Amino acid sequence: MTRFIGRYLRELVNPRYEVRAFIHQCYTIGYSSLALIGTTGFIMGLVLTMQLRPSLIAYGVVSQLPVMVSLAIVREIGPVISALIFAGKISSSIGAELGSMRVTEQIDAMEVSGTNPFKFLVVSRVLAATLMLPLLTILSDAIALYGSYLGVNIKGHTSLQLFFSDVFDALHYGDVMPALIKTFFFGAAVGLIGCYKGYNSSKGTAGVGLAANSAVVASSLAIFIIDLLAVQITDLLGLN
């Protein structure tokens, strides 16, 4: 795995970039996941708001609802939920796709056709995953906050302007930046693990299924480990 990452980084900077493949992957990995991740984000925002509301009423700080929800969503729930959904969708599909390409000799065929399959398949996918997940997370956060706004308005009433004013009052660069930065790592982990499992899958149809499955398991776990590291690092840097 370490060698795989090393090779990825080497091939990433080596010239002859597979721009077209990269753009295509951005589309399949990024754009195609938007609906799914947006929907989960919306529901998370709505549900979180409605769940928090009674507790906040109990403490008499229901006006702090936008603050709590925005911090929860932007700092943790948005990035992690998006990344997990992303891992489920992308890591498995990459694992299965590369696995089947390996099994049906498509990877060899690329090699024979004078195309570096690592660059064409792995680098483009990992890079696309690395760059698309943050974008998806940002949009998902925005949609989640809108969901939260609707959640606030189911029971009470707050204007959109006041809600977002509260939200942005609560947020600081120290909340947004670490959350944003860690999504890059989430994305890279999902892409790398999916590619690694697929690229090195064993021959046969069973190998493909195994590659897809273990890619999802490993990348979901990796997301939580990275999250744990990220919170330690932000804590050490005093960004809390």
Partner 1 sequence: MKKNTNNDIKLGIFISAGLLVLIISLYVIGSKQNFFGSNFYVRARFANAGGLVPGNNVLYSGIQAGTVSDIEIIDDTTIEVTLLLNKKIKPYIYSNSLVSIGNDGLMGNKIINITPNSTPASHIEDNGLLMTQSGSNMDQMMQTLSYTNENAMAITSELKETTTRINNDNTLWTILDDTMVAKDLIASVANLRASTARINEMTTTLDLILKDIHQGKGTIGTLLTDDDIANDIQQAVQDIDRVAVSAEVAIRTLDSTVQQLRTGMTTGGSMAHTVIGDTAAANSLKRSLQHIEKGTDRFSESMEALQHNFLLRRYFKRKARNEKGKE
Partner 2 sequence: MSITERYRLAQMVHTDGPVIKVSNLKKGFGTRVVLDDLSVELSRGESMVVLGRSGSGKSVFIKCIIGLLKPDAGSIHVLGQDLAALDHDQTDQLRSHIGFLFQSNALYDSMTIRENLEFPMRRHRNTLVREQLDEHIIKTLTNVGLAHTADMMPAELSGGMQKRIALARALVLNPEIILYDEPTSGLDPITSKEISSLMTGIQEQYNTSSIIISHDMSCVKRTADRIMVLLGGKCYAMGTWAELARSNDDNIKQFFE
Residue 41, amino acid: G
Query: How many residues sit close enough to partner 2 to count as binding (CB under 8 A)?
Result: 16
Q: Sign (positive/negative) of CA torsion 196, 37, 85, 71?
A: positive
Binding string, residues 9-48; x marks residues near partner 1 by CB under 8 A: --------------xx-xx--xx--x--------------
- Residue 112 near which of partner 1, partner 2, none (CB within 5-8 Å, type-dependent): partner 2
CA–CA separation, 221 and 212 (whole Å): 14
Between 118 and 186, CB nearer to partner 2: 118
* Contacted by 68, from partner 1, partner 2, none: CB < 5 to 8 Å by type: none
231 binding partner (options partner 2, partner 1, none; Cβ < 5 to 8 Å by kind): none
Q: Which does 10 bind (CB under 5 to 8 A by kind): partner 2, partner 1, none?
A: none
Do residues 38 and 138 touch, judged by C-beta distance below 8 A? Answer: no
Closer to partner 1 by CB, 130 or 201: give it: 130
Judge whether 183 and 74 are in contact, CB under 8 Å. Answer: no
| Residue 112 binds partner 2, judged by CB under 8 A | yes
Task: Determine if 209 is a binding residue for partner 1 (CB under 8 A).
Answer: no
- For the chain, the first-to-last Cα distance in angstroms comes to 32
Count of helix runs (H) and strand runs (E) in the chain? 12, 0
* Angle, alpha carbons 108-109-115 (nearest 5°): 95
106 binds partner 2 (CB under 8 A): yes
Structure tokens belonging to residue 182 = 């860690």
Distance of CA 167 to the CA centre of its chain: 22
- Whichever of 7 and 24 has its CB closer to partner 1, that residue is 24
171: helix, coil or strand?
coil
Q: Compare residues 16 and 157 and give the one whose CB is closer to partner 2.
A: 16
Query: Is 1 near partner 1 (CB under 8 A)?
Result: no
CB 90 within 8 Å of CB 190: yes
Q: Which of 110, 162, 170, 181 binds partner 2 (CB under 8 A)?
A: 110
Binding site for partner 1 (CB under 8 A): 23-24, 26-27, 30-31, 34, 61, 64, 134-136, 138-139, 142, 168-169, 171-174, 176, 180
